[in-house]
Amino acid sequence: MRRSRFSEEQIISILKEHEAGIPVAELCRKHGVSDASIY
Q: For 3-25, how does the pLDDT look when each residue is reduced to its tens digit (9 = 90+)?
A: 778 889 998 999 999 999 999 99
Cβ atoms 34, 24 nearer than 8 A: no
- Residue 5 pLDDT: 83
How many other CB atoms are found less than 10 A from the CB of residue 3?
4
Sequence-distant (6+) residues with CB within 8 A of 38 are 14, 15, 18, 24, 27, 28
**36: confidence class by pLDDT, cuts 50, 70, 90:** confident
DSSP string, 20-32: TT--HHHHHHHHT
This model's pTM is above 0.75: no
